[in-house]
A = this chain, B = another copy of it.
Amino acid sequence: MKKYLTHHEWQIIENGFHAEHNRISESVFSIGNGRMGQRANFEESYTGDTLQGSYVAGVYYPDKTRVGWWKNGYPEYFAKVLNACNWIGIEVKINETVLDLAKSDVTDFKRTLDMQRGILQRQFTAKLETSEQVKVDATRFCSLADDEAGAIRYAIQCDFSGELTLTPYLDFDIKNEDANYDEKFWEEVELAVHKGEGYITAATRKTDFRVCTGMCFDIFVNDKNVTPDIEIFRKEKFISNTVKLKVNEGDEVVIYKYAVNLSSENHPKDALSNNADKLLQNIRQKGFQTMLKEQMAAWATRWKDSDVVIEGDVAAQQGIRFNIFQLNQTYTGEDERLNIGPKGFTGEKYGGSTYWDTEAYCLPFYLSTADERVARNLLIYRYKHLQKAIENAEKLGFKDGAALYPMVTMNGEECHNEWEITFEEIHRNGAIAYAIFDYIRYTGDKAYLADYGLEVLIGIARFWAQRVNYSNQKGKYVILGVTGPNEYENNVNNNWYTNFTAKKCLELAMESIEWVKKNCPEKYKAIVRQINFDETEEQAQWQQICDHIYQPKYQEFGIYLQQDGFLDKDISPVDDLEEADRPLCQKWSWDRILRSCYIKQADVLQGLYFYEHEFDEATIRRNFDFYEPLTVHESSLSPCVHAILAARLGYHDKAYEMYLQTARLDLDDYNNDTEDGCHITSMAGTWMAVVKGFGGMRVVDGKLHLNPFLPKQWTGYSFKIRWRGSILNIKVTQAETTVENESGESVSLVLSGKLTEIGGKTS
């Protein structure tokens, strides 16, 4: 845990240069716009510790799988998000010395992420070894308005007289730190450099994605645009322009660098460099100040719909805004081919691929804070991968259109290669079905079923129908050999969460068939034909399974049993563990973790959270009281679910304790891993802890429910949600909860158990 960042309501601030934490800062201060993203690396040269990272959405490399021992069925590759062209680089030379904070005496350093406006700023004074001094003020952003563009204002106040050399460059000769075999993934396709501008087009090996990165720049000395001599330079995958300026002490030199990143996902390959050039001219003409205004306006719109205000606790306020900011710069919902990688645009770890995190944790945030099209695109992403999910299931021996969605994917194909996860953590299929249910519950958009949802649900139902087997011993259908959400158990039998989820998938599929058949008969017929669906026989089998699937219980305690045999364990609470044993994942060998009773993240409780409406409070309480004390929360996805359930049960202190565990996870580097990037998907969990936990937001039978309480650590809080066309602003204080309806139509909701009508602005 680190505490070097300054608390502030709207900004993340590093006061003084913490070179020892530079990789952490680079993660935390990352900027992005859903289409491209950039770690907070320095524009000028830096020889200290750094993880360079520039990312272009949707572009990946299928890195050859690395295993210790090959198991049949493992995928050939692991898709990796790619570190792409360094477009921010501006080498600064003062007389003969390159400016490098690792070799300078740095004072007045301040790095600021202005979340309200979506910009990264940095100021510092650097005294070189050769004793010249400069003051730098740098501002940059990835434009939300022009989402293929970034802009930099880099201002140098010269406290010396002599020569100042500026070399803006593009460097595509980069590599990924986590390459499995230390290979470089990019090859040069095309490259041009002229005075004042240039571009490089590179292609990924194997996948042949093309990215064209272009740059241009303008230089001002003491506010006067200058056109100095430019020396151009090129080598493989690298271009630069070098400008030498004679400066006098007191001069201010400002370079505006504009850059664009165009990918072949969005442009024909042969038009890439032309389109890049056009966009570059366009933004240069627009100019930095106009772009900045657009940026501020775009972020203001985002915040308008998604802000959470916390009163009486600046650290909490900063934490929740940081989470919302990161989520909004990671995924904008414009493009249904994109998704939310666990590190977003802040690092390359975990391959930048899609996990069940999206459906289980992220969807509610986008449902409540953005147009429903955004969440819908997240669902369509999986619809588009249905065929691959069917192929994935076939590789594991399933047939007849059974679909198993991958654990980790970029293009629908499985990437992961640990058998206990890849092949066995099949509950992910349940999350994908749940997300369809959750989306429709929130939006009421049942038509989605006919358009996309039904095919996915049938593919998933077919999988479960083949994955169960009938146990003569139990006289029930069982599901053997699975890993549940609690990954501290592997290859268990009858994980309750998985069995229950399978049943819910089958039921949801059957209900959806019913609805589509009745409401969109033509579409239904087309689907039946296309997927060769045997309505009667398949559904009869599904019903049979639903009626007789085994659901392990611990009758004596009135709880669901995490899996067969769980009670054979030595069961003692986490509180009895020695401090030296924590975290278990670092202190204990894997087998010891597996045979212990300790739970990594919500498992039975995950099921109770998803389908809370089907369980009475006493049942939820008994399970929570049994399982939570055994849970070590060693996944960043664990606390939010517990916070929500704890709040539901009136365990307000527990709810707040859980909320705290992720609210500032990256800002305070709780787990010593923020240097690899931020935990983007768990940020949505933090938002959920506030809105669903403290705010008690639920949707039941098409009706919005709110049941807020105020954590005693705060004096008040408010959040905004979109609800069926309206925007509601919920404010909670000690005294009262008020709901303001910012839109035109009147909304009826259940507030603290009471049906309430909230008038619209015009009503």
Contacts and interface: CB of A to CB of B under 8 A. Distances in A.
Interface of A: 65-69, 71-73, 395-397, 417-420, 423-424, 469-474, 478, 480-481, 490-494, 564-565, 567-571, 585-595
Nearest to A73: B589
Nearest to A479: B595
Nearest to A395: B589
A313 B592 CA distance: 52
Contacts of A478: 568
A474 B568 contact: yes
B493 A491 contact: no
Contact of A568 (B424, B471, B587): B471
A337 to B, nearest CB: 27
A238 to B, nearest CB: 30
A68 to B, nearest CB: 4
A71 B590 contact: yes
A493 B565 contact: yes
A397 B592 contact: yes
A588 B397 contact: yes
Q: Which of A69, A478, A491, A564 has the most CB of B within 10 A?
A: A491
Contacts of A493: 565, 568
Contacts of A567: 471-473
A585 B480 contact: no
A589 B591 CA distance: 23
A402 to B, nearest CB: 13
Nearest to A595: B481
Contacts of A419: 590-591
Given A66-B67, A395-B589, 16 more contacts: A66-B66, A68-B68, A72-B585, A72-B587, A72-B593, A396-B591, A419-B590, A423-B590, A469-B568, A471-B567, A472-B571, A480-B595, A481-B595, A490-B490, A491-B491, A491-B492
Contacts of A71: 589-590
Given A67-B68, A395-B589, A590-B423, A568 B418 contact: no
B68 A418 contact: yes
A405 to B, nearest CB: 15
Contacts of A423: 589-591
B480 A417 contact: no
B397 A589 contact: yes
A261 B744 CA distance: 92
A717 B73 CA distance: 46
Contacts of A590: 71-73, 419, 423
B490 A72 contact: no
Nearest to A593: B72
Contacts of A593: 72
Nearest to A550: B568
Q: Which of A68, A423, A570 has the most CB of B within 10 A?
A: A68
Given A72-B590, A481-B591, A591-B423, A565 B564 contact: yes
Nearest first, the 4 A-B pairs at minimum CB distance are A73-B589, A423-B591, A481-B595, A473-B567
A15 to B, nearest CB: 37
A396 B589 contact: yes
10 contacts: A66-B68, A73-B591, A396-B592, A420-B491, A423-B590, A424-B591, A469-B568, A474-B568, A480-B569, A564-B564
Q: Which of A481, A493, A591, A592 has the most CB of B within 10 A?
A: A591
A180 to B, nearest CB: 9
Contacts of A471: 567-569
Q: Which of A67, A396, A490, A568 has the most CB of B within 10 A?
A: A568
Nearest to A398: B592
Contacts of A588: 72, 397
A420 B491 CA distance: 10
Nearest to A418: B69
Contacts of A420: 491
Contacts of A490: 490-491
Contacts of A591: 73, 396, 419, 423-424, 481
A65 B570 CA distance: 33
Nearest to A69: B418
Contacts of A564: 564-565, 568
Given A423-B589, A589-B423, A568 B480 contact: yes
Contacts of A585: 72
B469 A570 contact: yes
Nearest to A587: B72
A471 B591 CA distance: 18
Q: Which of A418, A565, A593 has the most CB of B within 10 A?
A: A565
A103 to B, nearest CB: 35
A254 B395 CA distance: 59
Contacts of A595: 469, 480-481
A586 B481 contact: no
A396 to B, nearest CB: 5
Nearest to A471: B568
A69 B407 CA distance: 15
A471 B565 CA distance: 10
Given A473-B567, A491-B490, A493-B565, A417 B594 contact: no
Nearest to A424: B591
A582 to B, nearest CB: 13
Nearest to A586: B72
Q: Which of A571, A588, A590 has the most CB of B within 10 A?
A: A590
Nearest to A567: B473
